[in-house]
Amino acid sequence: NFFEDVQGKLVQKGVYCKMARGEMVCFMAENQIEKPEGIKQFSVMRYRFSEVLSSEKEYIFVRKKE
């Protein structure tokens, strides 16, 4: 899931989430990612993997609001 940090509160913005998912698919194809751990390196559109917020079943990517 993709979130934006707005003054310490995590918010999902549908349009940006959809764009980020598309970018992640491209990232996985270009880098031949076959295992889930590989997507932790994804860092497009200022989204970064959050080890703290993620679990084994769900990876969380967060970006700071500009």
The alpha carbon of 39 is separated from its chain's Cα centroid by a whole number of angstroms, namely: 9
Q: How confident is the model at residue 3 (pLDDT cuts 50, 70, 90)?
A: very high
Task: Map out the domains of the chain as residue ranges.
Answer: 2-64
- Three-class SS state of 36: helix
The whole-number pLDDT of residue 65 equals: 77
What is the tens place of the pLDDT at every residue in 8-61? 899 998 899 999 999 999 999 999 999 988 999 999 999 999 999 999 899 999
What are residue 31's phi and psi, to 5 degrees?
-100, 5
Strand partners, 3: 62
Task: Tell me the C-alpha distance between 37 and 66, whole Å.
Answer: 28
